[in-house]
Each structure stands twice: as structure tokens, then as C-alpha cells.
Structure 1
């Protein structure tokens, strides 16, 4: 489902790093190139690690998240704010996929299960906030 940055991250989002997404099946098979590929396009998949500026997310321990970008080359992080390590970011064509995270549940259905709704994010590119999508390159050459 497509979602606006303002709806998903009203308090802002800050990018920390971009790295290739690892395909664990390729890694286990000993392949030289272990980067995951998009099933539909065959393009490389990149993980952008981010921090949500929302204090409530920080209190719940859910401030760190990842956004997947499908692109032939590694996307370039936006510039940091002057004098800080913080890189405000907006994602182009952001989509969210909610799912049930039952990894905290042990032993089946019981009152102590701490399952939760979690979210997976994908985008087509990224840029500095306030810049037009066509004005900011989101992929390295």
C-alpha cells in the first residue's frame, strides 16, 4: 500500500547507512555475488537503515527500521545537516506492507505472547526532504 512520508513518519526520518541486502540462500550456496535481487525485475536490492524521529517509536524500541530500494546501483545518502551526523531523508514512492511478527511468541498461543504488527517498507529512491523527486539523484552512477 502506498503511503506518504508525512503519514508514515510525521516526526521525520533519518538515514544512517545503505548496504546491499544479503540473499542468504546465495550466501549458503557459496555464490560469489550474494546480493538479493528483486523477483520481478532482477534488479539489485539495497537496505537503507533509518531512525524514526518519533519519540513514541523510540520509547517502544521501534525507532530503527529498514527501507528496501530496488536499483541497479547503490543509492546515495542525502547530505547530513550542517554540524550533525543526521541525514534527513524522504523516500520516493514509499510503500508499506504490514505483517504479524510472532517472533516474540514462544510455545504457541498463550497470554504471554508478545506478537505485534510490524511493517516492511519499500521505495523506488530517496532524496533530501523538500527536494523535488526529479531534482535529486537517488542512484549512484
Structure 2
């Protein structure tokens, strides 16, 4: 019954892919998908604030605080007081964090290739194109809704 809905199918695919990725990432990098998602973003945008990380990763504030504390404890990121707003921190990758990110990206590409092996190369490209289009549409919609209620 539920399998007729695209949202159910997407959730099933996502859950299965994350479960498989968590097993591989934990054994190779010692981190799960959520921790790597946060680490990758900090590596891509050094000096980013936790508020911006929350907005881009869609991770709830309390959980994000725990993830950041774990990454700091593992010395994969560091934080500094934001020069323009002492109430906020800037987050920076460490050398070790950059190395873990690089290793995890290589593994991630291999994992994704394996997990999507039921699709042809052309189908994978099309799936990515469609997913990008939907993500962009949802982000525009969310920004419009946010602006409507904040102003």
C-alpha cells in the first residue's frame, strides 16, 4: 500500500543507503554519515557558524551541538569566537579533519557507485539531475515561506 507513494520509496532508498554507508564509514573513518556530513560542510566552508551548518544540513540544534562536540573532541574541527558576534562560534577543519574528509569522499564515491549499480550511467545522471531540480525547487519554496512569515 505505501509503496505506491514516491515519498515512501525515497525514504526506503535513503534509509537503506545510509545504513550501508554507516557500516562502511564507521569501519574506515570511525564516523557515521551525520558526522561526515557536518565535517564535509565545515571543510567546504571554513569559518562557518553553527547556525549556518544547521540551516544547510537540516540537523536539529540539539543533535548538531552533540555532533559538533564529538568532532571537536576527536580533533577533526576546532571553533573560535566569531569576530563580529561574540555569541557565535566559527568552525574550522583541522588537518586531521581534512584528511578524514578526503578519505571519506573517496569511499563515498565508491559506495554510491555500488549502491546505484542497478542503474545505468545515464540513469544515474538523470536521477541526479532530477534530484537537483527538486532540491532547488524545495529550497526556493522554503525561502519564500520563510520570508512570508518573518517579514
TM-score normalised by the chain length of structure 1: 0.27
Structure with a larger share of its residues in helix: 2
- Bigger relative CO (Cα 8 Å, ≥ 6 apart): 1
Specify the structure having the higher radius of gyration (Cα). Answer: 2
TM-score normalised by the chain length of structure 2: 0.25
Structure with a larger share of its residues in strand: 1
